[in-house]
Amino acid sequence: MAAVASRAAGILRLRAAGAERRWCGPRCAGLVQGFLQPGGEDAAQKRRVAHFTFQPDPESLQYGQTQKMNLFQSITSALDNSLAKDPTAVIFGEDVAFGGVFRCTVGLRDKYGKDRVFNTPLCEQGIVGFGIGIAVTGATAIAEIQFADYIFPAFDQIVNEAAKYRYRSGDLFNCGSLTIRAPWGCVGHGALYHSQSPEAFFAHCPGIKVVIPRSPFQAKGLLLSCIEDKNPCIFFEPKILYRAAVEQVPVEPYKIPLSQAEVIQEGSDVTLVAWGTQVHVIREVASMAQEKLGVSCEIIDLRTIVPWDMDTVCKSVVKTGRLLISHEAPLTGGFASEISSTVQCKHVIDDFLEKAKLTFLSQEQCCLTTIKFAVVGIPNGVRKNVS
């Protein structure tokens, strides 16, 4: 009875907040209620009690007329642009037809029809598998996983099917027109199953790209780049920013290049690297460090996790001599370890040990299909740098 009462209370709260008369499932009821608040400064102030304050970037007129949007509205705008431009594009996932639990697809079914914006069963493996099939036919598939925490049932489809499709066909076939969207990260009241940051799980998988934006402007440009990229992409959306992040965003479509980090503040004493919401956290840290300690921080938003922009990061570390990396995911096995390892191997070893006899043995690729080429990326003995 307690469970029934709790479920009923959740439905009433959603209805009172203005949601449609429907039940979106136990996994999202309480969480969604917190996101059905109006956007703007009030929402930003509420989010401040979490762990950061959103800092908008200066308005860019490079892409024409702009409009004030929060992050979910900028994503809606990107999806709208894609559907308008590409008649093969379809959007699908749990509850996307009515607008999605975070309202990112609101109005798109009415505008483009139920054959292009539609619901799926609650089965993440099926959603991604369906998306792979659509992409293989040449259409543009935009799949939504309702929460990044629930992407794991689709792990096999992403890692063993989508990422390897091009490899196993010798580049004759691919599903590069597949983009997987998923709300991501901590919100402060999401608990175990609505707070995870699983980007590092996919960083070990050649064949896919992983992208995480920090703001509405970045989200629209990066999402459009993912949708038009020739490789399957996972686009994680910081859900705490859906309402809290508000800034001027171009109305017309534009793209931000993938795999290019952005130096959003130059400095000389230490390099700070982050992505998603943590960019705003380290911005606050940099401000405090400058004000209280006189420490000049260079801030880098990585933006694309895979493949990441090691040149920009390493160039900055050479200048500052220090590196701090911040992410929401657990420490062990987090992507910060990869960044730290790469920076140390490229510079500590190369510069201070005069290019010692050490190289990376494995390569960023799948094991190839023929015996002749299968050993190309596999360590097969001691390699020495004798140059």
Return the percentage of the chain with pLDDT > 90, whole number: 70
Average pLDDT value for residue range 369-385:
45
pLDDT in tens, 134-173: 999 999 999 999 999 999 999 999 999 999 999 988 889 9
**What's the mean pLDDT when you consider all of the chain?**
83
Average pLDDT value for residue range 371-378:
45
Q: What is the pLDDT of residue 44?
A: 41
What is the distance in angstroms between the CA of the first residue and the CA of the last residue of the chain? 74
Q: Is the dihedral of CA 45, 47, 53, 55 positive or negative?
A: negative
Query: Phi then psi for 295, rounded to 5 degrees?
Result: -95, 125
pLDDT in tens, 57-81: 888 889 999 999 999 999 999 999 9
262-265 vs 297-301, strand pairing mode: antiparallel
Calpha distance 165→60 (Å, rounded): 38
The SS3 of residue 67 is strand
pLDDT in tens, 204-233: 999 999 999 999 999 999 999 999 999 999
| Residues known to be catalytic | 124, 194
Ordered domains of the chain (ranges, CATH): 1-33 (no CATH), 37-250 (3.40.50.970), 262-352 (3.40.50.920)
Q: What is the pLDDT of residue 366?
A: 54
pTM above 0.85, yes or no: no
> Is residue 188 within 8 Å of residue 244, measured between CB atoms?
no
Q: What is the pLDDT of residue 187?
A: 84
Calpha distance 207→76 (Å, rounded): 27
Is residue 112 over pLDDT 70? yes
Calpha distance 132→163 (Å, rounded): 10
The SS3 of residue 369 is coil
Q: Among 38-47, 266-275, 358-367, where is mean pLDDT lowest?
A: 38-47
Average pLDDT value for residue range 107-112:
98
304-306 vs 323-325, strand pairing mode: unpaired
Average pLDDT value for residue range 258-276:
97
CA dihedral 128, 133, 136, 137 (to 10 degrees): -140
